[in-house]
Amino acid sequence: MRLSTKGRYAVTAMLDLALNGTQGPVTLADISENQGISLSYLEQLFAALRSKGLVRGVRGPGGGYYLGRDSDEISIADIICAVDEWVEFTRCKGRQNCQDGQRCLTHNLWDDLSQQIFIFLTDITLHDLVQRGEAREAERREKKASSQVVGLKTQAA
Amino acid sequence: MRLSTKGRYAVTAMLDLALNGTQGPVTLADISENQGISLSYLEQLFAALRSKGLVRGVRGPGGGYYLGRDSDEISIADIICAVDEWVEFTRCKGRQNCQDGQRCLTHNLWDDLSQQIFIFLTDITLHDLVQRGEAREAERREKKASSQVVGLKTQAA
DNA sequence: GCAATTACCCAGTAATTTGCTCGGGAAAGA
DNA sequence: TCTTTCCCGAGCAAATTACTGGGTAATTGC
């Protein structure tokens, strides 16, 4: 599945911002190069993100983008909604041709499911992702170090 | 967000099958009318679903489609993967230009996230959805009944 | 055997979305 | 004033979505 590539780009860019924006703003040119996304496309995405208050732009030299609020206040759902506008309407909604119940049940079930996915994505923040990533990174370093020790031992033996 | 409309159609159609396929096969024509999806488009989707063993077709009059296995053995991820082929590759994967670590970290984080979403969708089966829907339906009937009682009471008072 | 009914298959295609180029501003700092 | 950045909008190629229309193959009931 794809979960919409647009949303993927937006999440990736916001992650870049969360990682690199700790000391001063990050330029779109940087993100463009880091993530391999075209500059103009990023501009379009960030226009949407800005309009929802997820990022804050600073013009002029030394400018760039900040996160609009703390990374633990920005959920993945926020980001994806900003660029993708989560309009999940069923076909019959509001129409009169949905009285037999059966087909409405199907639609309700789908609505429930997409609601669940939404809640799931609302629970994950940028901060969560960064932290989990760091934890995993540390774990990896740990493992690498211990395997190096083992390697030395086996070499010695 | 959209999580790909193709997947939505497929899940909706499979739900229709789970609901109506208890006594005999369901024709694509029925699903087409119930869900408002074009017949030929359904055929395409079902070709993919069939190739993954999620549905089983029966030809001839009185024919149609069955679920390929029990509804509690079919996850939402199964369905979406069948029609959408979940190829979630990062841009730099395998290339040599990913040595600085920073950009790979972003990609790893995204990978982790999409992995989590996948696991989430793997945990939800068609059976779950139908059951939850029925439970909610029953709850609604309960409420309606009790509010009717209240209504009668207030009318009586 | 024949007609009807269904799944199955494939080629084409309009509409939409994606991801991008280009061309220009407007604000802010050197 | 010049450069650097954000900002804005028109246009556009490629891909994807959703559909139309042309079949063929199996199965059922007559």
Could you report the per-residue pLDDT of A20-56, keeping only the tens digit for each? 988 899 999 999 988 889 999 999 999 999 999 999 9
Which residues of chain A have a CB within 8 Å of the CB of B4? 1-4
Neighbours of B97 (CB within 10 A): 9
Find the helix or strand (DSSP H, E) in which B149 lies: helix B126-156
Separation of CA B48 from chain center: 14
Are B65 and B17 contacting, i.e. CB atoms less than 8 angstroms apart? yes
Question: Which residues of chain B does A137 touch, with a Cβ-Cβ cutoff of 8 Å?
Answer: 105
Strand-pair category, B55-58 with A64-67: unpaired
Distant-in-sequence, close-in-space partners of A83: CB < 8 Å, separation ≥ 6? A6, A7, A9, A10, A45, A48, A49
Q: Does A95 touch chain B (CB under 8 A)?
A: no
User: Nearest to residue A102, comparing CAs of B42, B81, B43, B22?
Assistant: B22
CB B21 within 8 A of CB B67: yes
The Cα-based distances of A132 to A136, A138, A149 in angstroms read 6, 10, 26
- Which carries the bigger pLDDT value, residue A149 or residue B129? B129
Cβ separation of B137 and A105 shorter than 8 Å? yes
User: What SS3 class is residue A45?
Assistant: helix
Query: In this structure, what DSSP letter does residue B79 have?
Result: H
CB distance A112–B121 less than 8 Å?
no
CA of A63 to C1' of C29 (A): 9
* Contact call for residues B126 and B72 (beta carbons, < 8 A): yes
User: Is B81's Cβ below 8 Å from some Cβ in A?
Assistant: yes
Q: What is the pLDDT of residue A98?
A: 52
Q: Alpha carbon A109 to chain centroid distance? A: 26
Mean pLDDT of A4-18: 89
pLDDT for the residue B100: 55
pLDDT tens sequence across B94-139:
444 554 555 667 778 877 888 888 889 899 999 999 998 777 777 7
pLDDT tens-place string over residues A80-96: 989 886 655 555 554 44
Q: At what angle do helices B126-156 and B76-84 cross, to 10 degrees?
A: 120
Cα distance between residue A25 and residue A31, in whole Å = 11
**CA nearest to A89 within chain B:** B2
Q: What is the pLDDT of residue A7?
A: 86
Is residue A131 left, alpha or beta, with left meaning phi > 0 and alpha meaning psi from -120 to 50? alpha
Question: Residues A18, A65: contact at Cβ < 8 Å?
Answer: no
Please indicate if any CB of chain B lies within 8 Å of the CB of A80.
yes
Q: Which of B37, B38, B70 has the alpha carbon at shortest distance from B56?
A: B70
State the DSSP H helix or E strand holding residue A65, giving kind and residue range, or none if neither: strand A64-67
Which residue gives the smallest C-alpha to C1' distance to D20?
Answer: B40
